[in-house]
Chains A and B, each alone.
Chain A
C-alpha cells in the first residue's frame, strides 16, 4: 500500500531535454571561424556573384533579379548555391552566337 503511494507521489519523472549547450558551442565555433576569416575583406560573396553573372551574361541576356545566391557555411565544407533563371530558348541563343 505505502509503496504504491510513494510511486503515486514520486514516480513518472519527465525525461530532461538533451543538453543544448554543446549545440550552442558548435554553432558558435563554426560561425566565428567564418566571421574571423572574412573580417576586413571586401565582401567575397558579392564579388563571386558579380563575376559569375558576368560570365553567364557573355552568352545570354540575364535579368539580375532572377538570380538568387544561397550560402550554407559548414564546419569543414561550405556550400555556395547560385540559382539563375535562364530564359527559354537560351541554348539556341548560345548556338546562334557561337
Chain B
C-alpha cells in the first residue's frame, strides 16, 4: 500500500526540505521506492538539496497543466535508483496549482511508489494546504523554540481539519520530528525541553535531529545528509526516524554533547 506522507511545519527555515531529502534517501536505502515532491510555488528548493538542480526539465505545475506527463517530469536520483524527485514550479501564478490536479497526480504516484514524500512550503497558504491535502501521514518538523512550536501546533490543527482524511472522519497519522536540537544549549537549560514540546503538541515523537555542520555540508554539495555522511549524528538520527516510519521500534536517543576525551578529563566543555 503506497503511503503519502507530508513533511510540514508552518514555520519556515526549520528543516522541512532537508528532512524530506534525508528521510527520502534513508527509505530508499532500505529498499523502498520513494518519490519526493516539492510543493513550493515559485521557489524551488528540494532539487537543490537533492543535487538535481541542473537536470530539471518539467515540474509539478507542468504536469497539472498537462504540458508534460508525470513520467517526463520525474527525475531519477543518480546515486539511489529507487529515489525520484518531482520538482516545484518557478511560476509566480499561485492558482496554477489546483486541488483536482494535485489529486490526480497523487493517485498516479500511488501506483508507482511505496512512499510519496510531500515537501510542504512554509506558511498556511495554498502550497502548504495542498501538500497536506492527500496525506496519510504527517511529519511535523519542529525546532525547540517557542514560535516554531506554536506554528507546529497550528499545522497539527489543520491536519485534523483540512485534509481529505479528516473530512472523511479518519485520522492523519502524525509524528513530531525535532530538528536543530542544540546539545550545548540544552545542557545549559537554554532550550525548550523535549518533554515541554511533546506536552504542548500532544503528538508522538519520531526522532530528534541534532544541529550539525554535516547538514550544511550535505546541502552545499547537493546530497541528502543520510547519503553524504551516513555515519554522522544527524544521518543516524534520520535513519532511525525512517525506520520508525516503516514500523520498527527503535530506542529514542537524545543527542548529547560529544566532548573530546581531553576536554572531558579537564572538565571543559566542547565549543
Contacts and interface: CB of A to CB of B under 8 A. Distances in A.
Interface of A: 9-10, 17, 20-21, 23-24, 27, 30-31, 34-35, 43, 45-46, 64-65, 67-74
A16 B90 CA distance: 37
B55 A20 contact: no
Contact of B54 (A21, A45, A64, A74): A74
Given A10-B262, A24-B220, A27-B222, A71 B53 contact: no
Contacts of A45: 57-58
Contacts of A35: 90
A66 to B, nearest CB: 9
A30 B56 CA distance: 13
Nearest to B90: A35
Interface of B: 48, 51, 53-58, 62, 67-69, 71-72, 90, 216-222, 229, 261-262, 265
Given A65-B71, A71-B56, A9 B220 contact: no
B69 A65 contact: yes
Given A9-B261, A10-B262, A24-B221, A68 B53 contact: no
Given A46-B67, A67-B72, A68-B71, A27 B53 contact: yes
A35 B71 CA distance: 23
A6 B161 CA distance: 62
A72 B58 CA distance: 13
A67 B58 CA distance: 13
B259 to A, nearest CB: 13
A9 B262 contact: yes
A11 B55 CA distance: 44
A45 B90 CA distance: 14
B72 A69 contact: yes
6 contacts: A9-B261, A31-B48, A45-B58, A65-B69, A68-B72, A72-B55
Contacts of B69: 64-65
A75 B100 CA distance: 39
Chain B interface SS verdict (over half): helix
A17 to B, nearest CB: 7
Contacts of A68: 71-72
Contacts of A31: 48, 53-54
Q: Report the 5 A-B pairs with minimum CB-CB distance, sorted nearest first.
A: A24-B220, A20-B220, A20-B217, A73-B54, A23-B221
A26 B221 CA distance: 10
A2 B51 CA distance: 49
B54 A30 contact: yes
Contacts of B57: 45, 69-71
A73 B71 CA distance: 20
| Most B C-beta atoms less than 10 A away, residue of A20, A68, A70 | A20
Given A10-B262, A20-B221, A35-B90, 16 more contacts: A9-B262, A9-B265, A17-B217, A23-B220, A24-B221, A27-B48, A27-B53, A30-B54, A31-B53, A31-B54, A43-B67, A45-B57, A46-B62, A69-B72, A70-B57, A71-B57
B61 to A, nearest CB: 11
A21 B72 contact: no
Contacts of B56: 71
A68 to B, nearest CB: 6
Contacts of B221: 20, 23-24, 27
